[in-house]
């Protein structure tokens, strides 16, 4: 008997902002699943780099309002990505128990 299909939250959204879900056989070995794993890793690395940049920028007093606004927008986007990764990985951990 084959395994029941499972869903996986993908680390991106559709062009119109809708959640993307992968329906798989549960083994996590599909090509799209591997792409999603790599994308999650890239998103986490980018968030780390952005945090370092934010610390540098906020540590001084030369940042303009425009630069700080842009930094806030980028931090907000990175936080959304990291939250989506955490939600996806948490769901997969719950199923593994």
Give tens-digit pLDDT for 37-91: 999 999 999 999 999 999 999 999 999 999 999 999 999 999 999 999 999 999 8
What pLDDT sits at residue 1? 44
Residue 34: CB partners within 8 Å, gap ≥ 6? none
Read off the tokens for 84: 């989506």
Q: Is the pTM of this model over 0.85?
A: no
- Cα–Cα distance measured from residue 39 to residue 51, given in angstroms and rounded to the nearest whole number: 18
Half-sphere exposure of residue 24: CA atoms within 13 angstroms, side-chain side? 18
């Amino acid at each position: 008997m084959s395994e029941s299909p499972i869903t996986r939250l993908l680390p991106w959204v559709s062009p119109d902002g809708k959640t993307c879900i992968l329906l798989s056989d549960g083994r996590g070995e599909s090509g799209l699943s591997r792409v999603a794993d790599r994308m999650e890793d890239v998103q986490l690395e980018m968030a780390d780099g952005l945090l370092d940049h934010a610390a540098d920028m906020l540590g001084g007093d030369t940042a303009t309002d425009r630069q700080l606004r842009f930094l806030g927008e980028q931090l907000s986007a990175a936080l959304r990505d990291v939250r989506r990764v955490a939600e996806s990985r948490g769901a997969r951990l719950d199923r593994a128990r």
